[in-house]
Amino acid sequence: MAESLGYPSAKAGLPPGSLVHVGKEPAVAGHLTLISYSAEHFEELTVQSIDEILRYRDGSATLWVHCEGLAIVEILEAIGHHFGVHPLVLEDILNTHQRPKFEEYDEYLFIVLKTLTCDQNLKVHHEQISILLFDNLLFTFREKKDELFSSLKQRLANPKGRMRSLVTDYLTYAIMDTVVDQYFTLTDTLEEAIEAIEIKLLDRPRTQIFATIQLLKRELVFIRKAITPLREVLLTMQRSETGLIQEKTLPFFRDVFDHTLRVIDTMDSYRDLINGMLDIYLSSVSNRMNEIMKVLTVFATIFIPLTFLVGIYGMNFDFMPELHWKWSYPILWGCFFLIPAVLLIWFRKKKWL
């Protein structure tokens, strides 16, 4: 089983090409699925070793080997030995902190993608997908097992589908297109969250909304870092002169490139919206504080003259003639009511209220 390290810095001191899993989650046991297909047949089975794959490679069918789980050091070593894969490429498959990239070799292509999903708390989770593209053989490596490629397998199982007559370069396009389509699901989720925040923000800004805005801002930065390199990957693939990508498949990669640009533009617009909402929140809090201070200032201003009067007539001097007048007490209460009324009328006239 592969040893798991949390961060790339934990590999400091190890020689290049060391096959050690690097990721937030521990590496789970790898599950190998072999799909063999052609225009005439389709077969899906679970395999335990590379030797079983080699037996199927002798035919004319296209092979897709899908590995779910990265506790696969022995399998990667066998792949490197039988298919001439560079040790640094094998190392990058286990290092799940890679950015999306495309590397071209004589006999194969190496592609790294990132899948992105969002939970109910608006926390974005990512997973690395590594692809090794050979002439009639495709390896894909994932960190976990789910139903991301189930629809793709169904298309391959359909005897009338066009994928059955196409080879690994089109299968690579289909995988990348599936990943990018998942980005649109993510953008829809974020759009709903932003709209909900805008409604709450206009209603009454609260500290909880500020925390959600800050979370979205951080997640958008992370999403952009994960998606933006894919634009470079697709551009490089279209310009590549490798024979592993056929000319007739390039328009499909251009379509994925267009979708990627749309997602990036959408994320940029979301980032602007989030920054705008942050400014609105800060302005709303500042305005609310100003309103509170204005009300408190009005109360303080009203009570200043009243406190002055109470302070004067609360003194204990013997010679204060007003204290012995018959109407002193009612007059003082009249002042208590008259002064605030005059002040309020004056505040309204000045439009301070």
Alpha-carbon span 133 to 254, nearest angstrom: 18
Alpha-carbon span 297 to 300, nearest angstrom: 5
Better-scored residue on pLDDT, 20 or 122: 122
- What is the CATH superfamily name and number for domain 31-68+98-284? CorA soluble domain-like (3.30.460.20)
SS3 per residue for the chain: CCCEECCHHHHCCCCCCCCCEECCCCCCECEEEEEEECCCCEEEEEECCHHHHHHHHCCCCEEEEEEECCECHHHHHHHHHHHCCCHHHHHHHHECCCCCEEEECCCCEEEEEEEEEECCCCCEEEEEEEEEECCCEEEEEECCCCCCCHHHHHHHHCCCCHHHHCCHHHHHHHHHHHHHHHHHHHHHHHHHHHHHHHHHHHHCCCHHHHHHHHHHHHHHHHHHHHHHHHHHHHHHHHHCCCCCCCHHHHHHHHHHHHHHHHHHHHHHHHHHHHHHHHHHHHHHHHHHHHHHHHHHHHHHHHHHHHHHHHHHHCCCCCCCHHHHCCCHHHHHHHHHHHHHHHHHHHHHHCCCC
- Does residue 244 register a pLDDT over 70? yes
First-to-last C-alpha distance (Å) of the chain: 73
Domain boundaries, the chain: 31-68+98-284, 294-349
pLDDT digits (tens, 9 = 90+) for 13-28: 566 766 777 767 666 7
pLDDT digits (tens, 9 = 90+) for 175-205: 999 999 999 999 999 999 888 888 888 777 7
Phi, psi for residue 350 in degrees, rounded to 5: -80, -5
Q: Which residues pair with 47 in a beta bridge?
A: 32
From the list 297, 309, 294, 296, the residue with the least C-alpha distance to 339 is: 309
- Of the pLDDT bands very low, low, confident and very high (cuts 50, 70, 90), residue 1 is very low
Say yes or no: do domains 31-68+98-284 and 294-349 share a fold: no
Q: Give residue 209's pLDDT.
A: 85
Alpha-carbon span 280 to 83, nearest angstrom: 57
pLDDT digits (tens, 9 = 90+) for 46-79: 888 888 888 887 778 899 999 988 888 888 898 9
pLDDT digits (tens, 9 = 90+) for 259-296: 999 999 999 999 999 988 888 888 888 888 888 888 88
- What is the CATH superfamily name and number for domain 294-349? Magnesium transport protein CorA, transmembrane region (1.20.58.340)
Task: Give the torsion sign (CA, 284, 285, 286, 290).
Answer: positive
Work out the mean pLDDT of the chain and round it to a whole number: 86
Q: Give the pairing of strands 21-22 and 4-5.
A: parallel
Mean pLDDT throughout 96-104? Answer: 91
